[in-house]
Chains A and B, each alone.
Chain A
Amino acid sequence: MTPVPTEHDALARTVRVEGARILATLVRTVGDVRLAEDAVQEAVVAALGAWPVTGVPPEPRAWLTVTARRKAVDILRRERVRPHKERDAALLAELEAPDVPTDDVVRDDLLRLVFTCCHPTLAPDARVALALRTLCGLSPAQVAAVTLSSEAATSKRLTRARQKIATAGIPYRVPEPHELPDRLPAVCAVVHALYTAGHAPVDGPAAFDVDVCAEALRLAELLHELLPDEPMPAGVLALLLLTEARRPARLDDRGDAVPLQAQDRGRWDAAMIARGTALLDASLCRTHGQADVYQLQAAVAAVHARAPRWAATDWPEVVRLYDLLLSVDPSDAAALARAVATAEADGAAAGLALLDDVPAGPRRDAVRAELLARQGRPADAVRALDDALAGPATDVERRHRERRRAELARDAAGVVDAGRVASG
């Protein structure tokens, strides 16, 4: 399902990653997100045209920087109607300077760009779209695919967000340390939302042409690298690593979903788990054991990672963590997960009782079906799966549910036969 990465993909990735890095500096220089984006976009197109022929230059960032500046100059000359003539003159001089920014400068600019794109005064969906566009370098069409939106709506959302940055005067700066507690949640929420969008799309085929999970992980790494002493980015990175570590076991050879309980834990990425666990422990030390939503979810993932088998999982601990999570940040997904963990800890009946409080939806119905099947009620389980199959699902989820339905329908027929034999 996932397209095999080609040499061209690798090149495109370099261009995209380096493009986002140079964009950050260009935004600061020209003071205009749209102009900088257009210039970088034109430089990226030039690179994609030239590099397959000439080979990737020894310093791709320098090449892209110089080219993007030249494109910015072209755009400024094209748009002579711009109001600030004198400022533009100074700008042109700066753009024509030959020096390429140092790594330190790029790093600071990137942090500025992260905080500007994730400013709390922008709507959450606008922040996610802007992060995908400017920080990950996705095209508007790709952003639309990831956020399950139309390209027209995405373009409008992006335009509105950039307009607000420019006209409302959202500053291009890194917040002061004392401001970080107010500002980091919005940034972390964007990184987490990106990963979730790549990890669990609501419906449609799972394969994007860009690996959004890898992009989110890259941003989480970057944020932690830029702010190593802050516990929240460390918690987000821990959560993403511990989740990503399971990816090799999540699909079988046919591309079908393998539920956590059936996954081959030998295929989990041990190095990622070790790093995720260490990061989680370190970040919990910094918050003195007071866990936020990311640390709690990472802690759940760590419990799973510690268990050699599904049956050996410390279920009471998982239930405890979900109780905490629900008290900090109630959500349908957490309530559903708590019901699953409770069923493991205290039996299917206890899990089913909790499901009554979870709002209806295909994922809840699928869990209900499994718990009913465990109680020896396959006919009820089939009905629950029919409810689940009536709603939206990814192709992979749908195939899994159809397979389970067929198995349970056979079981249900068997139960009826056995009943006949017994009564006859």
Chain B
Amino acid sequence: MPQYLALTYTPDVDWWAPEHAAELGEYRQFAARHADAIRASAVLHPTGTATVVRVEGARGGHVVTTDGPYAETKEALTGYYLIEAADLDEAVAIAAEIPAARNGAVEVRPVIVAR
């Protein structure tokens, strides 16, 4: 069965903050409703906690880490669900129920499955 990664783009917030508890609850309800289709998922801390890693030059080169290269954008990658679905229509139907689809956007990407 094909797999799709549903990436959620929403306002860049701290999901642990009490004011987001209700919204987080909606995500939990979504996940419970589609437990059969969801293979993995994660909620991410805000982009302010991100670290970008690059290796300069060839393999084994100097490791350079920076604070996220993020300009202040309205929406950031804040989580993902790995979904199993028969086809894109089914994946889109599930993704449309993720609260992020209302409060931001969900990007659905087909996953390369090893042959």
Contact = CB atoms under 8 A, between A and B. Distances in A.
B115 A169 contact: no
B110 A169 contact: yes
Interface string B74-115: 000000000001111101100000000000000010100001
Contacts of A5: none
A35 B87 CA distance: 20
B115 A171 contact: no
Contacts of A119: 88
B2 interface: yes
Contacts of B86: 169, 171
Contacts of A171: 86-89
Contacts of B108: 168
A83 B112 CA distance: 14
Interface string A158-174: 00000000011111000
Contact of A121 (B2, B85, B88, B115): B88
Contact of B92 (A83, A121, A167): A121
B110 A167 contact: yes
Nearest to A179: B89
A119 B91 CA distance: 14
A169 B90 CA distance: 10
B115 A170 contact: no
A83 B110 contact: no
Given A83-B115, A121-B92, A170 B87 contact: yes
A121 B108 CA distance: 10
Secondary structure type dominating chain A contacts:
loop
A169 B92 contact: no
Contacts of A168: 88, 108, 110
A415 to B, nearest CB: 58
Contacts of B85: 169
Interface string A111-123: 0000000010100
B49 to A, nearest CB: 32
Nearest to A170: B88
A278 to B, nearest CB: 35
Which of B87, B89, B110 lies at the interface centre, i.e. has the most chain A CB atoms within 10 A of its CB? B89
A101 B108 CA distance: 36
B88 to A, nearest CB: 5
Nearest to A83: B115
Which of B2, B88, B92, B110 lies at the interface centre, i.e. has the most chain A CB atoms within 10 A of its CB? B88
Nearest to B109: A168
Contacts of A83: 115
A378 B110 CA distance: 62
A121 B89 CA distance: 9
Nearest to B91: A169
A119 B92 CA distance: 12
B91 to A, nearest CB: 8
A121 B106 CA distance: 13
Nearest to B2: A169
Which of A83, A121, A168 lies at the interface centre, i.e. has the most chain B CB atoms within 10 A of its CB? A168
Contacts of B110: 167-169
A93 B36 CA distance: 36
Nearest to A121: B88
B5 to A, nearest CB: 12
Interface in B1-42: 2
A22 to B, nearest CB: 24
B97 to A, nearest CB: 15
Interface in A273-318: none
Contacts of A121: 88, 92
A121 B2 CA distance: 17
Nearest to B111: A167
13 contacts: A119-B88, A121-B88, A121-B92, A167-B110, A168-B108, A168-B110, A169-B86, A169-B87, A169-B88, A169-B91, A170-B88, A171-B88, A171-B89
Given A121-B88, A167-B110, 4 more contacts: A169-B87, A170-B88, A170-B89, A171-B86
**Nearest 9 A-B pairs (CB), nearest first?**
A171-B87, A169-B87, A168-B110, A169-B88, A169-B2, A168-B88, A170-B88, A83-B115, A167-B110
